[in-house]
Amino acid sequence: MRVTDFVLPGAFRADGSRPTGGDERHNAHAVQAETSPHGERCAPGAGGGTGGDVSLVGGSERGYGPRFDAPVAPGGYLWWYIDALSDDGRHGITLIAQVGSCFSPYYAWARRRGDSDPLDHNSLNVALYGEVKRWSMTERGRSALRRDASWLEIGPSALHWDGTSLTIRIDEVTMPLPTRLRGTVRVYPRAVVGQPYRLDNAGHHYWAAIAPCARVEVKLDRPSLHWSGSGYLDSNWGDAPLESAFQRWEWSRAAMKDGGTTVLYDVTQRDGARPLLGLRFDPTGGVEPFEVPPHVKLPTTAWLLTRGTRVDPQRTARVTKTLENTPFYTRSVLATHVLGEPVTAMHESVCLDRFSTRWVQTLLPFRIPRALS
């Protein structure tokens, strides 16, 4: 494999200033694509980059944690994702704080009109699973967005990084039945990582695991719900819409017996190429690439959305729970095998072709209202 320099959009110098002119190219490194034993293309960066001298790239600063002041390119997006499953298996949660909400119908309509301002399309998506189910995602405009390096405020909800833990204060309204969703979620990383990896061959879309191994505490007042469990925190960003680069997107993360985490990315680009990314993070933050296993199909959803995952040879994967079931997106819990271990995995499948259709765009506002102010 050959290591080469590549341009990382939105990088900052160590003093926090943004480079201009000739400084737009930085000494960041990623491993170029290579052919896997299954005849597919491994994602650039799948071997793990050194990161060079880049202090901040997108939504994560390596070794520091999330950076909420990262620039977002016109037409682009930036999000921070948290998920957790309770120790007793009764509850789950996902949260996605989005600047330039990439699945917003309002943002898609604005881009078609020639308005590509990502800062006018922001949301905190909160989903509760298990014995207590709730879902909320209200889009808010520029006037509701406030942020600096360690603070992100979207309307009445906010995220704060204190250098060691992330606190999410939730004050939202659920859909489709309006009820209050209010409380606090705290993420305690076992180690902070943040190395960026390129997800597409063209270099427009990036991902970084910030806290691949974490503990999460959920303390909600409405509904009344308190639990803790294992969790995960990452960030994605890009300078173009997801649907411009990808046909499909499959991702999963699984907790390992030693307290580490494996992450699998399997994307299908517009040109049909399928970059693959398989990483194992140990509890101290060390990371190693691994050979991405073969693909297997999972049951089609009620919306006839196909889904699949990567599983060890001669092993099977099974959907134990379907958490989200929409026309273009599904989130599931899997019983599967990775690196010789039986594991429980959080898994998502996204069909960007389906997302772009007129009928899906028409349905989305019923789940994603936009606040007037």
* Domains along the chain with CATH numbers: 3-366 (2.40.370.10)
Higher pLDDT, 4 or 121: 121
Which residues, other chains included, contact 170 with Cβ-Cβ below 8 Å and sequence gap of 6+? Answer: 95, 124, 126, 157, 181, 182, 183, 184, 185, 220
Q: Is the peptide bond before 299 cis (omega within 30 degrees of 0)?
A: no
Tell me which residue has tokens 């597409």.
Answer: 200
Cα–Cα distance, 232 to 339 (Å, whole number): 19
What is the pLDDT, as a whole number, of residue 191? 95
Helix count and strand count (H, E) for the chain: 4, 25
pLDDT band at 40 (very low <50, low <70, confident <90, very high): very low
Asked if 201 and 186 count as a contact pair (C-beta separation under 8 A), the reply is no
pLDDT, one tens digit per residue, over 7-30 is 233 332 223 333 333 332 222 223
Cα–Cα distance, 365 to 373 (Å, whole number): 16
**Within 13 Å, how many C-alpha atoms sit on residue 372's CB side?**
0
Q: What residues form DSSP beta bridges with 196? A: 208
Cα–Cα distance, 298 to 279 (Å, whole number): 22
Tell me which residue has tokens 């995952």.
Answer: 309
Both tokens of 319, joined, read 């959907």
Instruction: State pTM to two decimals.
Output: 0.86
Which residues, other chains included, contact 347 with Cβ-Cβ below 8 Å and sequence gap of 6+? Answer: 250, 251, 252, 307, 309, 331, 332, 333, 334
Tell me which residue has tokens 């705290």.
Answer: 186
What is the pLDDT, as a whole number, of residue 207? 97
CA angle 232–366–156, rounded 5-degree value:
55
What is the pLDDT, as a whole number, of residue 140? 98
Both tokens of 97, joined, read 């704080």
Burial class (CB in 10 A: 0-12, 13-18, 19+), 78: buried
Cα–Cα distance, 281 to 261 (Å, whole number): 5
Both tokens of 263, joined, read 């992450």
Least confident of 57-71, 94-108, 325-339, 345-359: 57-71
Q: Calculate the average pLDDT of the chain.
A: 87
Decide if pLDDT at 277 tops 50: yes
φ and ψ at residue 161, rounded to 5 degrees: -105, 120
Asked if 92 and 216 count as a contact pair (C-beta separation under 8 A), the reply is no
Cα–Cα distance, 3 to 203 (Å, whole number): 15
pLDDT band at 372 (very low <50, low <70, confident <90, very high): confident
pLDDT, one tens digit per residue, over 229-246 is 999 999 999 999 999 999
Which candidate, 280, 124, 264, places its Cα nearest to that of 213? 280
Q: What is the share, in percent, of the chain residues with pLDDT greater than 70?
A: 84
Higher pLDDT, 137 or 21: 137
pLDDT, one tens digit per residue, over 283-313 is 999 999 999 999 999 999 999 999 999 999 9
Asked if 226 and 219 count as a contact pair (C-beta separation under 8 A), the reply is yes
Burial class (CB in 10 A: 0-12, 13-18, 19+), 226: exposed
What 3-state DSSP class applies to 249?
Answer: strand
The H or E element spanning position 222 is strand 205-222
Both tokens of 149, joined, read 């390096």
Higher pLDDT, 21 or 332: 332
What is the pLDDT, as a whole number, of residue 3? 24
pLDDT, one tens digit per residue, over 170-190 is 999 999 999 999 999 999 999
Which residues, other chains included, contact 46 with Cβ-Cβ below 8 Å and sequence gap of 6+? Answer: 31, 33, 34, 197, 275, 276, 277, 278, 279, 289
